[in-house]
Structure 1
Amino acid sequence: MTVPQNFVYGNSIRKQIVKEIRDAYVAHEKWVRRAKHLVENLPVDEKMIPVDSTECQFGQWLYGNGMKYKNIAKLSDILHKIELEHRNLHDTYLRIYKIYFLETKRSWIMNLVTQSRKEVTPKKQQEALHYYHQMVKISTVLLESLEVLEASLVMQKDDVLLTFS
Structure 2
Amino acid sequence: MLYFRIFVMTKKQILHAIEHAYEYHVEQMEKVTLLVEGNKVKNPTPRMKNECDFGKWLYGDASRIKRLLGLQFYKDMELIHEFWHIEYEKIYDLYYRDDEDGLLTKIFGNRRRLSEEEREEVQEYYQALSRATDDLLDALSASKRRILALKEYIFKNID
TM-score by length of 2: 0.80
What is the aligned-residue RMSD (CA, Å)? 2.8
List gaps (5 residues or longer) in structure 2: 1-8
Structure number with bigger Rg? 1
1:124-160 deviations in whole A, cap 9, x for unaligned?
Answer: 1222122111101011111111111111111112221
What amino acid sits opposite 2:48 in the alignment?
D
Equivalent residue, structure 1, for 2:94 = 99
Taking the aligned partners of 1:114 and 1:18, their CA distance within structure 2 comes to 35
Equivalent residue, structure 1, for 2:53 = 57
What amino acid sits opposite 2:28 in the alignment?
W
List gaps (5 residues or longer) in structure 1: 1-11
Q: CA deviation at 1:120?
A: 0.9
Taking the aligned partners of 2:36 and 2:76, their CA distance within structure 1 comes to 27
Matches within 5 A, 1:127-146: 127-146=121-140
Equivalent residue, structure 2, for 1:162 = 156
Equivalent residue, structure 1, for 2:6 = none
Q: How many residues align?
A: 151
How has the CA–CA distance of structure 1 residues 113 and 26 changed in structure 2, closer, same or farther, with 3 Å as cutoff? closer
SS at match of 2:112: coil
How has the CA–CA distance of structure 1 residues 75 and 50 changed in structure 2, closer, same or farther, with 3 Å as cutoff? same
Matches within 5 A, 1:10-159: 13-45=10-42, 47-65=43-61, 67-72=63-68, 75-103=70-98, 105-106=100-101, 117-159=111-153
Q: CA deviation at 1:85?
A: 0.6
Contact persistence 2:21–2:140 (CA under 8 A):
no
Moved over 6 A (4+): 110-115
Contact persistence 1:37–1:43 (CA under 8 A):
yes
SS at match of 1:42: coil
Taking the aligned partners of 1:107 and 1:141, their CA distance within structure 2 comes to 29
Taking the aligned partners of 1:104 and 1:37, their CA distance within structure 2 comes to 19
Q: CA deviation at 1:48?
A: 2.5
Q: CA deviation at 1:78?
A: 1.2
TM-score by length of 1: 0.78
Taking the aligned partners of 2:97 and 2:47, their CA distance within structure 1 comes to 13
Equivalent residue, structure 2, for 1:5 = none
